[in-house]
Amino acid sequence: MQLWKGRFKKELSKTTNDFNSSISFDSRMYKEDIEGSIAHATMLGRCGIIKEEEANDIVKGLKGILADIENGTLHIDMEAEDIHTFIEGELTKRIGDNGKRLHTSRSRNDQVAVDIKLYLKKEVVNVKNLVVGLIKVIADKAEKYSETVMPGYTHLQRAQPITFGHHLLAYGEMLLRDVSRLEDCLKRMDEMPLGSCALAGTTYPIDRTITAELLGFDRITNNSLDGVSDRDYCIEFASVLSIIMVHLSRFSEEIIMWCSWEFKFIELDDAFSTGSSIMPQKKNPDIAELVRGKSGRVFGDNMTLLTIMKGTALAYNKDMQEDKEAIFDALDTVKMCLTAFTPMLDTMRVIPENMRKAAAGGFINATDCADWLTKNGVPFRDAYKATGELVARCIELGTDLESLPMDEYKKVCDVFNDDVYSAISLERCTNERTVFGGPASANVKAQAKRVAEIAEKL
C-alpha cells in the first residue's frame, strides 16, 4: 500500500520497495506517530476543517491502533513504506473514509519531523537520568575516597599527589556539563513543525498552537521550509552523545589501566569482568573496553548525520530518511554504555595501598620541595633548578627526596633545613593543596557533597 498511488501506472519493484522503505527502523516511533496524528486530527476538528464527528472517529480509531500494537494483537507490516503509511492505512482499513481525511493539511515531511522530535524529547530525558545516576555514584565514591592519596599524572608520568576522590570528581564535572548540554539541546528541540506541511505551509485555516499545546511543545517553528528540512536537533543530540562518549571512553581507559598488574589501583567485580578461553589467570575489563570501543560508533553516527545534511538543498530530501538509523544507534549505544558502566564503577574494589605506593615513588613531591624553598625566600626559578639537581642526585643514589640526607640538600642550596622533610611528606603535599578546586581531602568532601546535591535536584 502506497500513499502516493494516483500518478503511477506500475507497482514498485520489490527491490525498490525494500530500498525505499524505512519501516524497519522508523516503526519504533509508532506511538509518537499516533500521538501526532491524534493532535493533528483534533486540531482539524476544532478549526472546522473536518467535522468534529470525523475528528472523533479518527482519534478513536488511532487510539484503537495504539492499544492493539501495544497489546500485541496488531503487528506492524514490515512491507509498508514507513510507519506513517502503515498507521494511516490501518486507520482507513478500520474506519473507512474518515481515515482518508486525516492527512488534510499535512505531509509526511512535517509528520516525520514531529515524530522524531517527540521521540527524541523523551529520550534526551532518559539519557539525562542515566548520566545523573552515574554522577551520583561518582559523588558517593569521591566522598568515600576523599583521603585516598594517589599520583596525579601528566603525560602518564607521575606528576603531583592528588586524592582518588578528586580524580573521580573530575569526571563528575564533565558529566554535569553533559547534563547541561542535554538540557540545552532539549530546549532548542522543543519547537513543533506540524503545519509546515510539505514545505510551503497550507491554505487551510489551521491553528498550529493547538497542535503544539496538545503535543506538549514549548513553541512552533517559524519557517515552513526550516520546519521540514531542519535536522539540527538530531545532529546536536548526536554531538552531545558523542561528548558523553568521549568522557566515558577516557574514564574507561583509566579503569583499564588501573586494573592492570602494573597499576592495580582497583579491581572490578567479577560480575563486570570476563576471562580468557586459554589463559586461566586472566580477568579482563571487557565492559570498559567495549565502552571505549563503542565511542567510535557514536562518533560515526554523528559524522553520518552531518554528512547526510551537508549537501541537501531546501527543503525535504529523501536523504533525510537516513537520519533515524544514525541517531537511534547513537542513542541506543549511549544508553547501553551508561547502563553497564554505572554499576561497574559502583562495584569496583579500590586498593588504596597500591595507589599510595605509586604516589610514594616518582618524586611527585618535587614541586612541593621547590615551593618550600620559594616560601623560604628563594625565587621559584632558582628553587626549581635546585630541586631538579636534588632529584638527579636521588636517582644517582637510588633514593628519594624523603630519605636524602640533609648534607646533600645543603650542597645544592644552603637555605634547606630539616623542616623540608615534613613539608614534602605525601600527607602535607596533598592536604595543603586547599586552593578552591584542589585535591585536599577537605575540598574533596565539600565538592562531593556539592555534586551529590546538584545531582539530587537534576
Q: Based on CB atoms, which residue is closest to ligand ARG, 231 or 247?
A: 231
Max Cα-Cα span within the chain: 101
Q: How far is the CB of 446 from ligand ARG (least distance, A)?
A: 50
- Applying CB under 6 A, does 367 fall inside the site for ligand ARG? no
Provide DSSP, 265-289.
SEE--GGG-B--SS-TT--B-HHHH
Site for ligand ARG in 261-280 (CB under 6 A): none
Distance CA 275, CA 259 (A): 14
Stretch that binds ligand ARG, among 89-97, 203-211, 254-262, 312-320 (CB under 6 A): 312-320
- Applying CB under 6 A, does 321 fall inside the site for ligand ARG? yes
- Applying CB under 6 A, does 88 fall inside the site for ligand ARG? no
N residues, the chain: 458
Q: How far is the CB of 331 from ligand ARG (least distance, A)?
A: 16
Stretch that binds ligand ARG, among 105-113, 125-133, 295-303, 349-357 (CB under 6 A): 105-113
Distance CA 271, CA 255 (A): 15
Are 164 and 354 a contacting pair, CB within 8 Å? no
Distance CA 430, CA 356 (A): 12
Which residues lie below 8 Å from residue 428, measured CB to CB, with a gap of 6+? 368, 422
Distance CA 296, CA 288 (A): 14
Stretch that binds ligand ARG, among 107-115, 235-243, 302-310, 426-434 (CB under 6 A): 107-115
Are 116 and 321 a contacting pair, CB within 8 Å? no
Q: Based on CB atoms, which residue is closest to ligand ARG, 116 or 440?
A: 116
Strands (E), 164-259: 191-192, 219-220
Q: How far is the CB of 54 from ligand ARG (least distance, A)?
A: 25
Provide DSSP, 212-223.
HHHHT-SEE-S-
Q: Based on CB atoms, which residue is closest to ligand ARG, 90 or 143?
A: 90
- Applying CB under 6 A, does 112 fall inside the site for ligand ARG? yes
- Applying CB under 6 A, does 333 fall inside the site for ligand ARG? no
- Applying CB under 6 A, does 109 fall inside the site for ligand ARG? yes
Choose among 268, 267, 262, 288: nearest CA to 158: 262
Are 55 and 105 a contacting pair, CB within 8 Å? no
Distance CA 278, CA 291 (A): 24
N- to C-terminal Cα separation, the chain: 46
Distance CA 187, CA 54 (A): 35
Q: How far is the CB of 230 from ligand ARG (least distance, A)?
A: 13
86, 316, 341, 409: residue in contact with ligand ARG (rule CB under 6 A): 316
Q: How far is the CB of 325 from ligand ARG (least distance, A)?
A: 10
- Applying CB under 6 A, does 119 fall inside the site for ligand ARG? no
Q: Based on CB atoms, which residue is closest to ligand ARG, 112 or 130?
A: 112
Q: Based on CB atoms, which residue is closest to ligand ARG, 57 or 82?
A: 82
Site for ligand ARG in 57-86 (CB under 6 A): 82
Choose among 196, 145, 200: nearest CA to 353: 145
Q: How far is the CB of 31 from ligand ARG (least distance, A)?
A: 16
Q: How far is the CB of 67 from ligand ARG (least distance, A)?
A: 24
Stretch that binds ligand ARG, among 40-48, 172-180, 317-325, 356-364 (CB under 6 A): 317-325
- Applying CB under 6 A, does 108 fall inside the site for ligand ARG? yes
Choose among 115, 110, 124, 131: nearest CA to 187: 124
Distance CA 383, CA 412 (A): 10
Q: How far is the CB of 4 from ligand ARG (least distance, A)?
A: 8
Q: Based on CB atoms, which residue is closest to ligand ARG, 329 or 371?
A: 329
- Applying CB under 6 A, does 32 fall inside the site for ligand ARG? no
Residue with cell string 526550516: 226
- HSE-up of 401 (CA within 13 Å, CB side)? 31
- Applying CB under 6 A, does 320 fall inside the site for ligand ARG? yes
- Applying CB under 6 A, does 2 fall inside the site for ligand ARG? no
Q: Which amino acids are annotated catalytic?
A: 155, 276
- Applying CB under 6 A, does 167 fall inside the site for ligand ARG? no
Q: Based on CB atoms, which residue is closest to ligand ARG, 109 or 146?
A: 109
Q: How far is the CB of 437 from ligand ARG (least distance, A)?
A: 47
Residue 169: alpha-carbon gap to chain centroid: 17
> 323-346 and 286-310 helices cross at what angle (nearest 10)?
160
φ, ψ at 350 (rounded to 5°) = -90, 140
Stretch that binds ligand ARG, among 169-177, 233-241, 303-311, 315-323 (CB under 6 A): 315-323
Q: List contacts with ligand ARG (CB under 6 A).
A: 22, 26, 82, 108-109, 112, 316, 318, 320-321
